């Protein structure tokens, strides 16, 4: 199902893109919840983490590597948090799989 993130991938709407390759895209969240807050998304339209299959392993691995490299480039050597809000009870609003990377301040646990 196309979402707002499909339009960002297609460059139909602008985003502050931090990384792009054939498999995934990293861009700053429009409504940041931390001094550094970016999203890593697969270009493939996967609705959520609950909708992945084994054929997506390479895509998911690439997203993790990109998250790590962009976090490093953003100066998050003190640490950060990766979050994948998943479906309704997980608090997911955009139905395109995305990983939040939040950093630049201490994170609380447990999340709300």
Give me the residues that bind ligand 5GP (CB under 6 A), please. Answer: 4, 15, 27-31, 85, 91-94
Q: Kindly tell me which of 54 and 90 has the beta carbon lying closer to ligand 5GP.
A: 90
Does residue 19 have an active-site annotation?
A: no
CB of 41 to ligand 5GP, least distance (A): 9
Give the end-to-end CA distance of the chain in Å, rounded to a whole number. 28
CB of 55 to ligand 5GP, least distance (A): 23
Q: Give Cα 42 to chain centroid, integer Å.
A: 8
Give CA–CA dist 104/39, Å, rounded.
15
- Biggest CA-to-CA distance, the chain: 37
Q: Kindly tell me which of 68 and 85 has the beta carbon lying closer to ligand 5GP.
A: 85
Q: Kindly tell me which of 10 and 30 has the beta carbon lying closer to ligand 5GP.
A: 30
- How many Cβ atoms are within 10 Å of 82's Cβ, its own excluded? 15
Catalytically annotated residues: 98
């Amino acid at each position: 199902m196309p979402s707002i993130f499909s339009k960002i991938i297609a460059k139909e709407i602008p985003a502050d893109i931090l990384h792009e390759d054939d498999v995934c895209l990293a861009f700053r969240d429009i409504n940041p919840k931390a001094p550094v807050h970016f999203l890593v998304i697969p270009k493939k339209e996967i609705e959520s983490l609950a909708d992945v299959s084994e054929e997506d392993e390479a895509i998911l691995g690439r997203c993790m590597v990109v998250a790590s490299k962009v976090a490093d480039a953003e100066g998050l050597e003190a640490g950060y948090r990766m979050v994948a809000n998943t479906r309704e009870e997980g608090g997911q609003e955009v139905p395109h799989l995305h990983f939040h990377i939040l950093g630049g301040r201490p994170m609380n646990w447990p999340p709300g």
